[in-house]
Chain A
Amino acid sequence: MLRRTFLQATSGAALAAAATTPGDGIRLGFDTFSIRDFHWKDIQYLDYATSLKLDTVQLSSLDDYESLEPAHLAKVKDHAGRVGIVIDAGIGTICDLSTNWDQKEGNPTAYLRKGLGVAKAVGARVMRCNMGTRADRPNLDRCMEATVKALKSVRSEALDSGVRIAVENHAGDMQAREVKMLIEEAGTDFVASCLDSGNPLWAAEDPLLTLETLGPYVVTTHIRDTAVFEHQRGAAVQWVALGDGSVDFHRFIDLYQKLCPKASMQLEIITGIPPDILPYLEPDFWKVFQRTPAWEFARFLKLVKNGHPYMGPMVIAGWGEHPPALAAAFKEQQRVDLERSFEYAKKVLGAGVRWKS
């Protein structure tokens, strides 16, 4: 709230100072999931990104393409080149033991190959993917093992195509330490991190710790803010637009500049979901976090103690289908919250290249 007020009060001064801000030189864009209810496709996303004077976009799913035919993908590559937008590519879950695995993809190796082919065709140098969700934590070791195996199976193709596979810390599936281990096990020459700054909250992890741990491996990102606050059962967390939450993004951008300045800062703004409770005061919570060091958790506790609920306007509807009136408001909110997050990223954090010219 205070940071938002600061933005309004100092936008002119911040503009002038942008060239010397910590975000200087960091490419700014968005993950298409941010505005998923618009159901746009590749060219529309590229044009939208251009209209906002962005540098990059993450087409985070194969559904983001109008067609996967080579001719169409070549057209997407040409268009991106013409409008000056760098594409980061993406696919979904690559672990066939995960509850999130989509059987229709055949097997993980085939899915990864398909994604790499598309990434190469549109000129992307990175391809995001994920292992699973928090539902997979009881089965984490086996999932990580299967994922490492799947990744190793496409090492040659990845290296040949020049596309780094960026494993996301996704939906509470892994803590940063675990992602780092997975990347190193699979091979840092072709596997890297798609750092998500909102998902650590589902795994009781301070996003600054996530960045400190994964920074050297980050090649693309999903960036959003989170309101974190105490709850009788532990804490509660709610994803919010950039600047509306509890995460110290000034410190975050300092670290980003130091550790992974070449990685695109792709905003993945997800608002409208009710707060999620992390019942860490109850013993059962810890069953799936047996190896989390206390010092890491203490960092999260500090964040919780300093935070408070988001108190501003928001259409809070949750996941899934909504009645028409609510769905329309929810959709519009996706655009509004993404765009005001860009303003924060540009004017307060000084991220982005193109908008400054």
Chain B
Amino acid sequence: MEELSSATTSPVPIKLGFDSYSIRDFRWRDIQLLDYAAGLKLDTIQLSGLHDYESLEPAHLANVKEHAERVGIIIDAGIGCICPLSEGWNPNMGSPAEYLRKGLAVAKAVGARSMRCYLGGRGDRPKLEQCMEVTINVLRSVRNEALDLGVRIAIENHSGDMQAREVKALIEAAGKDFVGSCLDAGNPMWVVEDPLVTIETLGPYVVTTHIRDSAVFEHPRGAAAQWVALGDGSVNLHRFVELYRKLCPHAGMQLEIITGRAPTVLSYLEPDFWRVFPHMPAWEFARFVELAKSGHPYMGPMVIGGSGKQPPVIEAALKEQQRTDLERSLEYAKKALGVGVSWRG
């Protein structure tokens, strides 16, 4: 209760919303997602992929923009992988510059001021420097359009592709006047990084976010981490929000809740693990070790699916869990962390 009262009296309001990926199995589109957000008394939403729109026709996007204004929800836009060297690159998108331009136009059309995108995944770390160089060039190629449209391109630390220090270097090399950070609080686990280090490093560049909690614990091979609903994990979210208010209070806090996955083993006690992290400073890693040492496995209920296609009953339970875990995370953000504006009435 002490934490709640100190949070609610904070002078810095933080807008609260969610990334549409949190409830992906519902296959809702723009207007449905906006209405759902409004129903939960949220302030913002991140439509993080172009597939979140019913149509990309200008008339429809104008309709989405108007609807968002009517229900009082601010849209952060988004696209996917923009590095053509990445395993995550989709050649159907044409060239990365075309894909970025398409995304920027959609973002502008729906009234968004930021557009999330990313470099790749952890499979790209063996060739990270090349990927970063290409991504910087791609970003620079759309600098004028981004500045003209007034849309900041927000690079996510995605799926273990980069550590915060690397994202920061990329943003600064591309140009921080049009490139910012989409800070993801769950992905740092994959790169043995304490999410508090991530926000300390990227805070000044953050324009939108993906926020979730993680249960981290020691494992015979190093540590293991599992994404969980907000408040169910090991991350000190009170400290996280304190830093958030200080470093990036204007960025929408978009919850990207991803549960239902088994813990991932981070085998840092084995030499091979370090092949793709040759430049990580020991002091940064020590912060993660501290987190792992003080954490424990998530011990609550959760539907954890296996790999690949799941039986229909498991799929149905996972789908329902997406909604349940997002909503209880939003409650935690509101009531325990004091985040959000609209819900206060």
Main secondary structure of the interface of A (DSSP, over half): mixed
Does B287 sit within 8 A of A, measured CB to CB? no
Number of B residues, CB within 8 Å of A: 26
**Tally of A-B residue pairs with Cβ under 8 A?**
68
Given the contacts A325-B319, A328-B317, A329-B313, A274 and B263 also touching, CB distance less than 8 Å: no
Given the contacts A325-B320, A328-B313, A332-B314, A312 and B300 also touching, CB distance less than 8 Å: no
A24 to B227, CA, bound (A): 43
Which residue among A229, A274, A325 has the maximum number of chain B CB atoms within 10 Å of its CB?
A: A325
| Chain A min CB distance to B131 (Å) | 30
| Chain A min CB distance to B304 (Å) | 5
Does B302 sit within 8 A of A, measured CB to CB? yes
Evaluate contact between A316 and B301: CB separation under 8 angstroms: yes
Task: Please give, as numbers and ranges, the residues of chain B lying within 8 Å of A312 by CB-CB distance.
Answer: 262, 304, 306
Task: Please give, as numbers and ranges, the residues of chain A lying within 8 Å of B297 by CB-CB distance.
Answer: 229, 236, 275, 309
Evaluate contact between A313 and B299: CB separation under 8 angstroms: no
Task: Please give, as numbers and ranges, the residues of chain A lying within 8 Å of B296 by CB-CB distance.
Answer: 231-232, 236
Task: Please give, as numbers and ranges, the residues of chain B lying within 8 Å of A308 by CB-CB distance.
Answer: 219-220
Evaluate contact between A328 and B316: CB separation under 8 angstroms: yes
Evaluate contact between B299 and A274: CB separation under 8 angstroms: yes
A232 to B299, CA, bound (A): 13
Give 20 A-B contacts (CB < 8 Å), ordered by A residue: A231-B296, A236-B297, A274-B299, A275-B297, A308-B220, A309-B263, A311-B224, A312-B304, A312-B306, A313-B305, A315-B314, A316-B301, A316-B302, A323-B320, A325-B319, A325-B320, A326-B321, A328-B316, A329-B314, A329-B317
Contact with A along B69-84 (1 / 0, CB 8 A): 0000000000000000
Task: Please give, as numbers and ranges, the residues of chain A lying within 8 Å of B280 by CB-CB distance.
Answer: none
| Chain A min CB distance to B49 (Å) | 25
A326 to B314, CA, bound (A): 8
Evaluate contact between B313 and A332: CB separation under 8 angstroms: yes
A336 to B313, CA, bound (A): 12
Contact with B along A221-233 (1 / 0, CB 8 A): 0000000010110
Which residues of A (315-332) have their CB < 8 Å from a CB of B?
315-318, 323, 325-326, 328-332
Task: Please give, as numbers and ranges, the residues of chain B lying within 8 Å of A336 by CB-CB distance.
Answer: 311
| Chain B min CB distance to A240 (Å) | 12
Which residues of B (292-345) have their CB < 8 Å from a CB of A?
296-297, 299-307, 311, 313-314, 316-317, 319-321
Does A277 sit within 8 A of B, measured CB to CB? yes
Top 5 A-B pairs ranked by shortest CB distance?
A329-B317, A313-B306, A325-B320, A309-B297, A328-B313
Does B53 sit within 8 A of A, measured CB to CB? no
Task: Please give, as numbers and ranges, the residues of chain B lying within 8 Å of A277 by CB-CB distance.
Answer: 299
Evaluate contact between B217 and A309: CB separation under 8 angstroms: yes
Evaluate contact between A313 and B300: CB separation under 8 angstroms: no
Which residues of B (154-187) have their CB < 8 Å from a CB of A?
none
Whose C-beta in chain B lies nearest to the C-beta of A317? B301
Evaluate contact between A325 and B316: CB separation under 8 angstroms: yes
| Chain B min CB distance to A262 (Å) | 37
Task: Please give, as numbers and ranges, the residues of chain A lying within 8 Å of B316 by CB-CB distance.
Answer: 325, 328-329
| Chain B min CB distance to A270 (Å) | 15
Known: A313-B304, A313-B307, A331-B313. 20 other contacts (CB 8 A): A231-B296, A232-B296, A274-B299, A274-B300, A308-B219, A309-B217, A312-B304, A313-B262, A314-B304, A315-B314, A316-B303, A317-B301, A325-B313, A325-B319, A326-B321, A328-B313, A329-B303, A329-B313, A329-B314, A329-B317
Given the contacts A308-B219, A323-B320, A316 and B224 also touching, CB distance less than 8 Å: no
A30 to B63, CA, bound (A): 60
Does B265 sit within 8 A of A, measured CB to CB? yes
Whose C-beta in chain B lies nearest to the C-beta of A331? B313
A333 to B313, CA, bound (A): 9
Whose C-beta in chain A lies nearest to the C-beta of B221? A308
Task: Please give, as numbers and ranges, the residues of chain A lying within 8 Å of B313 by CB-CB distance.
Answer: 325, 328-329, 331-332
| Chain A min CB distance to B72 (Å) | 31
A87 to B330, CA, bound (A): 52
Task: Please give, as numbers and ranges, the residues of chain A lying within 8 Å of B304 by CB-CB distance.
Answer: 312-316
A107 to B188, CA, bound (A): 60
Evaluate contact between B263 and A311: CB separation under 8 angstroms: yes
Evaluate contact between A325 and B317: CB separation under 8 angstroms: yes
A23 to B306, CA, bound (A): 30
A317 to B304, CA, bound (A): 10
Which residues of A (25-70) have their CB < 8 Å from a CB of B?
none
A105 to B319, CA, bound (A): 42
Which residues of A (275-326) have their CB < 8 Å from a CB of B?
275, 277, 308-309, 311-318, 323, 325-326
A330 to B217, CA, bound (A): 27
A332 to B303, CA, bound (A): 12
A333 to B303, CA, bound (A): 11
Residue from A236, A317, A323, A325 in contact with B299 in the complex, judged by beta carbons closer than 8 Å: A236
Task: Please give, as numbers and ranges, the residues of chain B lying within 8 Å of A326 by CB-CB distance.
Answer: 303, 317, 320-321
Task: Please give, as numbers and ranges, the residues of chain A lying within 8 Å of B217 by CB-CB distance.
Answer: 309
A308 to B217, CA, bound (A): 10
A186 to B297, CA, bound (A): 43
| Chain A min CB distance to B89 (Å) | 29
Task: Please give, as numbers and ranges, the residues of chain B lying within 8 Å of A313 by CB-CB distance.
Answer: 262, 304-307
Evaluate contact between A311 and B300: CB separation under 8 angstroms: no
A35 to B17, CA, bound (A): 41
Residue from B263, B300, B307, B314 in contact with A316 in the complex, judged by beta carbons closer than 8 Å: B300
Contact with A along B240-277 (1 / 0, CB 8 A): 00000000000000000000001101000000000000
Residue from A311, A315, A331, A332 in contact with B262 in the complex, judged by beta carbons closer than 8 Å: A311
